[in-house]
Amino acid sequence: MFDFGIAGYQPCWLNGVNEVANRHGRRLRGLVGRRLTSTWVVWDADDDAWFADCPVVLDFAGERLEVNHQKFDDLSITWNSVDVTRMPVWPTSDGFRLLWRDDVPAVLAARCGQRLAAVELLEWAGGDLADGCVAVGLRFADGWLTLYNALDENGLAFGQLEPQYRRHRQS
């Protein structure tokens, strides 16, 4: 199993909103009301850019949610498995210098300190190749944070939800 160079990380790839909800719905609901205390992404030090292939890590006062997307429709949600004090080492000879950062992207880091108001699984229905992809929607007091599949990597959006999403409330 490919671990993205992250010690202890074992992604569990799921497809479709029902599969994700059945596996993680209860635990996602349990995050509602908790404060987001830290966020972490893997950063490419050479390019000074977010390395969006690796999981996005969100710590809700001790309950760590790890979200990762790959291919066109794979979503992995894991819990409390990523140790952000250990540097990731990309398992190929590409020579990436990777590190964990808690201050980027700004749209993510700005949510720290806020309480989670709702969680929804979002199913893309835009009439294109991405139909059926599942995103994780997190509503904070100042808007929605969406972690979505950006074609074989993670994407982040903040603000209103795209109207092409079918919403499946988890909280």
- Is the predicted pLDDT of residue 153 greater than 90, yes or no? yes
Domain count of the fold of the chain: 1
Give the tens place of pLDDT for each residue, 140-150.
999 999 999 99
DSSP strand pairing (56-60 vs 63-70): antiparallel
Q: What is the pLDDT of residue 1?
A: 63
- 17 assigned to some structural domain: yes
- 148 assigned to some structural domain: yes
CA torsion sign for 91, 74, 155, 168 is negative
Give the tens place of pLDDT for each residue, 47-62.
999 999 999 999 999 9
Query: The whole model's pTM is what?
Result: 0.95
Q: What is the pLDDT of residue 93?
A: 61
Q: What is the pLDDT of residue 162?
A: 94
**Least-confidence region, from 15-24, 61-70, 92-101:** 92-101
Give the tens place of pLDDT for each residue, 72-83.
899 999 999 999
Q: Which long-range contacts (CB under 8 A, 24 or more apart) does 13-19 make?
A: 13/70, 13/74, 13/75, 13/76, 14/74, 14/75, 14/76, 14/77, 14/134, 15/73, 15/74, 15/75, 15/132, 15/134, 16/73, 16/132, 16/134, 17/121, 17/123, 17/134, 17/166, 17/168
- 74 assigned to some structural domain: yes
- 5 assigned to some structural domain: no
- 4 assigned to some structural domain: no
- 35 assigned to some structural domain: yes
- 131 assigned to some structural domain: yes
Domain that holds residue 105: 13-169
Give the tens place of pLDDT for each residue, 89-126.
887 766 779 999 999 999 999 999 999 999 999 999 99
